Amino acid sequence: MGTLILLRHGESAWNARQLFTGWTDVGLTSHGEQQAQRCGDLLREAGLVPDAVHSSVLTRAVRTADLVAGSAGAHRARTTAHWRLNERHYGALQGREKGDVLEEFGEQRFRLWRRSYDAAPPPVAEGAPGDVSDDPRYADVPRSLLPRTESLADVTARLLPYWHQAVVPDLRAGRTTLLVAHSNSLRALVAHLDRMSREEVPGLNIPTAMPLRYDLGEDLKPRVRGGCYLEPAAAATAAAEVAAEGFRSSCATR
Ligand SMILES: O=C(O)[C@H](O)COP(=O)(O)O
Protein backbone atom coordinates (compact mmCIF):
# COMPACT_ATOMS: atom_id res chain seq x y z
CA MET A 1 0.00 0.00 0.00
CA GLY A 2 1.19 3.52 -0.75
CA THR A 3 1.45 6.10 2.00
CA LEU A 4 -1.46 8.47 2.51
CA ILE A 5 -0.77 12.11 3.41
CA LEU A 6 -3.72 14.14 4.66
CA LEU A 7 -3.39 17.90 4.57
CA ARG A 8 -5.73 20.72 5.47
CA HIS A 9 -5.18 23.71 3.17
CA GLY A 10 -3.04 26.67 4.30
CA GLU A 11 -4.56 29.63 6.14
CA SER A 12 -7.42 31.15 4.15
CA ALA A 13 -8.60 34.76 4.20
CA TRP A 14 -11.60 33.67 6.31
CA ASN A 15 -9.55 31.46 8.65
CA ALA A 16 -7.56 34.60 9.46
CA ARG A 17 -10.82 36.39 10.40
CA GLN A 18 -12.35 33.35 12.17
CA LEU A 19 -15.40 33.28 9.92
CA PHE A 20 -17.38 30.11 9.25
CA THR A 21 -16.48 29.33 5.64
CA GLY A 22 -17.87 26.00 4.47
CA TRP A 23 -18.44 26.02 0.70
CA THR A 24 -17.68 29.75 0.39
CA ASP A 25 -14.79 29.94 -2.04
CA VAL A 26 -12.11 32.10 -0.45
CA GLY A 27 -8.41 32.21 -1.32
CA LEU A 28 -5.30 31.68 0.78
CA THR A 29 -3.59 34.50 2.66
CA SER A 30 0.08 35.08 1.83
CA HIS A 31 0.85 33.25 5.08
CA GLY A 32 -1.28 30.34 3.83
CA GLU A 33 0.69 30.26 0.57
CA GLN A 34 3.96 30.15 2.48
CA GLN A 35 2.61 27.39 4.72
CA ALA A 36 1.70 25.34 1.65
CA GLN A 37 5.16 25.74 0.12
CA ARG A 38 6.73 24.68 3.38
CA CYS A 39 4.55 21.55 3.46
CA GLY A 40 5.96 20.62 0.07
CA ASP A 41 9.50 21.04 1.45
CA LEU A 42 8.61 18.86 4.43
CA LEU A 43 7.25 16.10 2.20
CA ARG A 44 10.33 16.16 -0.03
CA GLU A 45 12.67 16.04 2.98
CA ALA A 46 10.67 13.11 4.41
CA GLY A 47 10.93 11.20 1.11
CA LEU A 48 7.18 11.52 0.58
CA VAL A 49 6.98 13.13 -2.85
CA PRO A 50 3.38 12.55 -3.97
CA ASP A 51 2.62 10.41 -7.02
CA ALA A 52 -1.08 11.29 -6.88
CA VAL A 53 -2.81 14.39 -5.50
CA HIS A 54 -6.51 14.71 -4.67
CA SER A 55 -8.12 17.96 -3.55
CA SER A 56 -11.55 19.48 -3.15
CA VAL A 57 -12.70 21.92 -5.84
CA LEU A 58 -12.47 24.89 -3.47
CA THR A 59 -9.73 27.38 -4.38
CA ARG A 60 -7.97 27.22 -1.01
CA ALA A 61 -7.43 23.47 -1.40
CA VAL A 62 -6.60 23.52 -5.12
CA ARG A 63 -4.04 26.28 -4.60
CA THR A 64 -2.53 24.50 -1.60
CA ALA A 65 -2.26 21.28 -3.61
CA ASP A 66 -0.49 23.12 -6.47
CA LEU A 67 1.96 24.83 -4.15
CA VAL A 68 2.72 21.64 -2.21
CA ALA A 69 3.22 19.62 -5.40
CA GLY A 70 5.49 22.35 -6.80
CA SER A 71 7.74 22.65 -3.78
CA ALA A 72 7.79 18.89 -3.17
CA GLY A 73 9.00 18.39 -6.74
CA ALA A 74 5.95 16.26 -7.60
CA HIS A 75 5.97 17.45 -11.18
CA ARG A 76 4.58 14.25 -12.64
CA ALA A 77 1.90 13.70 -10.00
CA ARG A 78 -1.63 13.16 -11.29
CA THR A 79 -3.92 15.74 -9.70
CA THR A 80 -7.67 15.50 -9.35
CA ALA A 81 -10.16 17.90 -7.74
CA HIS A 82 -13.56 16.66 -6.61
CA TRP A 83 -16.52 18.27 -4.83
CA ARG A 84 -16.89 15.28 -2.51
CA LEU A 85 -13.75 16.45 -0.68
CA ASN A 86 -15.18 19.95 -0.10
CA GLU A 87 -15.49 21.43 3.37
CA ARG A 88 -18.68 20.64 5.30
CA HIS A 89 -21.45 22.99 4.13
CA TYR A 90 -21.85 25.20 7.18
CA GLY A 91 -25.39 26.30 6.28
CA ALA A 92 -26.57 29.65 7.61
CA LEU A 93 -23.38 30.00 9.68
CA GLN A 94 -21.29 30.64 6.56
CA GLY A 95 -19.87 34.17 6.61
CA ARG A 96 -20.53 34.64 10.33
CA GLU A 97 -17.80 35.25 12.87
CA LYS A 98 -17.32 32.24 15.14
CA GLY A 99 -17.20 34.41 18.27
CA ASP A 100 -20.53 36.05 17.34
CA VAL A 101 -22.22 32.67 16.80
CA LEU A 102 -20.91 31.46 20.16
CA GLU A 103 -22.22 34.60 21.85
CA GLU A 104 -25.64 34.43 20.17
CA PHE A 105 -26.38 30.72 20.55
CA GLY A 106 -24.30 29.72 23.59
CA GLU A 107 -21.48 27.24 24.05
CA GLN A 108 -23.53 24.05 23.96
CA ARG A 109 -25.16 24.78 20.59
CA PHE A 110 -21.89 26.17 19.19
CA ARG A 111 -20.00 23.00 20.10
CA LEU A 112 -22.80 20.79 18.81
CA TRP A 113 -22.91 22.50 15.42
CA ARG A 114 -19.15 22.66 15.11
CA ARG A 115 -17.93 19.34 16.47
CA SER A 116 -20.71 16.79 16.98
CA TYR A 117 -21.18 13.92 14.54
CA ASP A 118 -24.90 14.26 13.92
CA ALA A 119 -25.97 17.89 14.26
CA ALA A 120 -26.20 20.18 11.22
CA PRO A 121 -26.40 23.99 11.46
CA PRO A 122 -29.57 25.67 10.12
CA PRO A 123 -29.65 25.41 6.30
CA VAL A 124 -29.25 28.35 3.94
CA ALA A 125 -32.51 29.33 2.32
CA GLU A 126 -33.07 28.49 -1.34
CA GLY A 127 -31.48 31.16 -3.54
CA ALA A 128 -29.69 32.78 -0.58
CA PRO A 129 -25.91 33.28 -0.62
CA GLY A 130 -24.44 29.88 0.13
CA ASP A 131 -27.01 27.98 -1.95
CA VAL A 132 -24.81 26.47 -4.67
CA SER A 133 -27.56 24.81 -6.73
CA ASP A 134 -27.01 27.25 -9.62
CA ASP A 135 -23.24 27.46 -9.31
CA PRO A 136 -21.79 26.37 -12.69
CA ARG A 137 -18.92 24.64 -10.88
CA TYR A 138 -21.41 22.04 -9.63
CA ALA A 139 -23.41 21.77 -12.86
CA ASP A 140 -22.48 18.06 -13.20
CA VAL A 141 -23.63 17.19 -9.68
CA PRO A 142 -27.26 16.09 -9.28
CA ARG A 143 -29.10 18.93 -7.51
CA SER A 144 -30.39 16.52 -4.90
CA LEU A 145 -26.80 15.91 -3.76
CA LEU A 146 -25.90 19.58 -3.34
CA PRO A 147 -26.18 20.48 0.36
CA ARG A 148 -27.56 23.58 2.03
CA THR A 149 -26.15 22.45 5.37
CA GLU A 150 -24.32 19.32 6.55
CA SER A 151 -23.51 17.40 9.71
CA LEU A 152 -20.27 15.44 9.93
CA ALA A 153 -22.31 12.31 9.25
CA ASP A 154 -23.53 13.89 5.98
CA VAL A 155 -19.95 14.77 5.03
CA THR A 156 -18.86 11.20 5.72
CA ALA A 157 -21.63 9.83 3.50
CA ARG A 158 -20.75 12.03 0.52
CA LEU A 159 -16.98 11.69 0.95
CA LEU A 160 -16.66 7.91 1.24
CA PRO A 161 -17.70 7.06 -2.36
CA TYR A 162 -14.80 9.21 -3.60
CA TRP A 163 -12.43 7.72 -1.04
CA HIS A 164 -13.22 4.16 -2.17
CA GLN A 165 -13.45 4.84 -5.91
CA ALA A 166 -10.59 7.28 -6.41
CA VAL A 167 -8.18 7.39 -3.45
CA VAL A 168 -8.01 3.77 -2.32
CA PRO A 169 -7.04 2.54 -5.84
CA ASP A 170 -4.04 4.92 -5.78
CA LEU A 171 -2.99 3.54 -2.40
CA ARG A 172 -3.44 -0.05 -3.55
CA ALA A 173 -1.27 0.75 -6.59
CA GLY A 174 1.51 1.72 -4.16
CA ARG A 175 1.32 5.46 -4.85
CA THR A 176 2.26 8.09 -2.28
CA THR A 177 -1.07 9.86 -2.21
CA LEU A 178 -1.67 13.41 -1.03
CA LEU A 179 -5.23 14.39 -0.14
CA VAL A 180 -5.72 18.13 0.39
CA ALA A 181 -9.02 19.02 1.99
CA HIS A 182 -10.59 20.85 4.92
CA SER A 183 -11.15 20.88 8.64
CA ASN A 184 -14.33 18.80 8.53
CA SER A 185 -13.88 16.70 5.41
CA LEU A 186 -10.61 15.53 6.99
CA ARG A 187 -12.28 15.03 10.39
CA ALA A 188 -14.84 12.83 8.64
CA LEU A 189 -12.12 10.77 6.95
CA VAL A 190 -9.92 10.45 10.04
CA ALA A 191 -12.93 9.45 12.18
CA HIS A 192 -13.78 6.80 9.57
CA LEU A 193 -10.22 5.44 9.24
CA ASP A 194 -9.67 5.36 12.99
CA ARG A 195 -13.14 3.90 13.65
CA MET A 196 -13.77 6.65 16.18
CA SER A 197 -16.69 6.45 18.56
CA ARG A 198 -19.28 9.27 18.60
CA GLU A 199 -17.77 10.37 21.92
CA GLU A 200 -14.28 10.74 20.44
CA VAL A 201 -15.30 12.82 17.41
CA PRO A 202 -15.81 16.20 19.16
CA GLY A 203 -12.21 16.14 20.43
CA LEU A 204 -10.75 15.83 16.92
CA ASN A 205 -9.32 19.05 15.44
CA ILE A 206 -7.27 19.30 12.27
CA PRO A 207 -4.82 22.21 11.99
CA THR A 208 -4.07 23.99 8.71
CA ALA A 209 -0.95 23.04 6.76
CA MET A 210 0.28 20.17 8.94
CA PRO A 211 0.94 17.00 6.90
CA LEU A 212 -0.55 13.93 8.60
CA ARG A 213 0.85 10.58 7.48
CA TYR A 214 -1.20 7.39 7.46
CA ASP A 215 0.13 3.96 6.56
CA LEU A 216 -2.78 1.60 6.02
CA GLY A 217 -2.96 -2.18 5.87
CA GLU A 218 -4.67 -4.05 3.03
CA ASP A 219 -7.82 -3.91 5.18
CA LEU A 220 -7.47 -0.07 5.19
CA LYS A 221 -6.82 -0.11 8.91
CA PRO A 222 -4.21 2.44 10.05
CA ARG A 223 -0.98 0.90 11.32
CA VAL A 224 -0.90 3.77 13.84
CA ARG A 225 -4.28 5.00 15.03
CA GLY A 226 -4.47 8.79 14.55
CA GLY A 227 -1.67 8.73 11.98
CA CYS A 228 1.61 10.58 12.47
CA TYR A 229 2.02 14.31 11.96
CA LEU A 230 5.36 15.14 10.36
CA GLU A 231 5.70 17.86 13.00
CA PRO A 232 3.84 16.46 16.03
CA ALA A 233 4.52 19.21 18.57
CA ALA A 234 3.61 22.06 16.21
CA ALA A 235 0.52 20.15 15.06
CA ALA A 236 -0.68 19.64 18.64
CA THR A 237 -0.31 23.37 19.39
CA ALA A 238 -2.09 24.33 16.16
CA ALA A 239 -4.91 21.81 16.78
CA ALA A 240 -5.50 23.33 20.24
CA GLU A 241 -5.77 26.76 18.59
CA VAL A 242 -8.38 25.40 16.18
CA ALA A 243 -10.36 23.96 19.10
CA ALA A 244 -10.33 27.39 20.80
CA GLU A 245 -11.64 29.34 17.78
CA GLY A 246 -14.57 31.54 18.72
CA PHE A 247 -13.65 31.63 22.40
CA ARG A 248 -12.32 35.12 22.88
CA SER A 249 -9.92 35.80 25.70
CA SER A 250 -11.17 38.38 28.20
CA CYS A 251 -8.51 40.88 27.09
CA ALA A 252 -9.27 40.48 23.38
CA THR A 253 -10.19 43.69 21.58
CA ARG A 254 -12.77 43.78 18.81
O1 LIG B 1 -15.40 26.11 7.12
C2 LIG B 1 -14.85 26.62 8.08
O3 LIG B 1 -15.40 27.46 8.79
C4 LIG B 1 -13.43 26.24 8.38
O5 LIG B 1 -12.92 25.42 7.43
C6 LIG B 1 -13.19 25.61 9.70
O7 LIG B 1 -14.17 24.87 10.20
P8 LIG B 1 -14.21 24.49 11.77
O9 LIG B 1 -14.56 25.70 12.54
O10 LIG B 1 -15.25 23.43 11.85
O11 LIG B 1 -12.83 23.98 12.13
ipTM score of complex: 0.97
Q: How confident is the model at residue 3 (pLDDT cuts 50, 70, 90)?
A: very high
State pLDDT tens for residues 149-162: 999 999 999 999 99
Ligand 1 pocket, 64 CB below 6 A? no
DSSP 3-state assignment of 7? Answer: strand
State pLDDT tens for residues 55-69: 999 999 999 999 999
Distances (CA, A) of 195 to 52, 109, 177, 220: 25, 25, 21, 11
Closest residue by CA, ligand 1 atom 3: 20
Q: What's the CA gap between 179 and 163, in Å, rounded?
A: 10
Is the pLDDT at 114 greater than 60, yes or no? yes
State pLDDT tens for residues 21-32: 999 999 999 999
Percent of the chain with pLDDT over 70: 98
Average pLDDT (169-179) is 98
Give the number of C-alpha atoms closer than 13 A to the C-alpha of residue 18, restricted to the C-beta side.
Answer: 15
- The verdict on whether 87 is a catalytic residue reads yes
Q: How confident is the model at residue 253 (pLDDT cuts 50, 70, 90)?
A: very low
**How far out from the chain centre does Cα 37 lie?**
18
> Is the pTM value of this prediction over 0.80?
yes
CATH class for the region spanning 4-243: alpha beta
Task: Write down the pLDDT at residue 248.
Answer: 73
Task: Write down the pLDDT at residue 251.
Answer: 52
Q: What's the CA gap between 228 and 209, in Å, rounded?
A: 14
> Dihedral sign, CA of 30, 184, 221, 238?
positive
- The verdict on whether 31 is a catalytic residue reads no
Give the number of C-alpha atoms closer than 13 A to the C-alpha of residue 62, restricted to the C-beta side.
Answer: 12
Is 114 annotated in a binding site? The answer is: yes
Task: Write down the pLDDT at residue 254.
Answer: 42
Distances (CA, A) of 7 to 44, 82, 229: 15, 15, 10
Q: Tell me how far the alpha carbon of residue 218 lies from the centroid of ligand 1, in angstroms.
A: 32
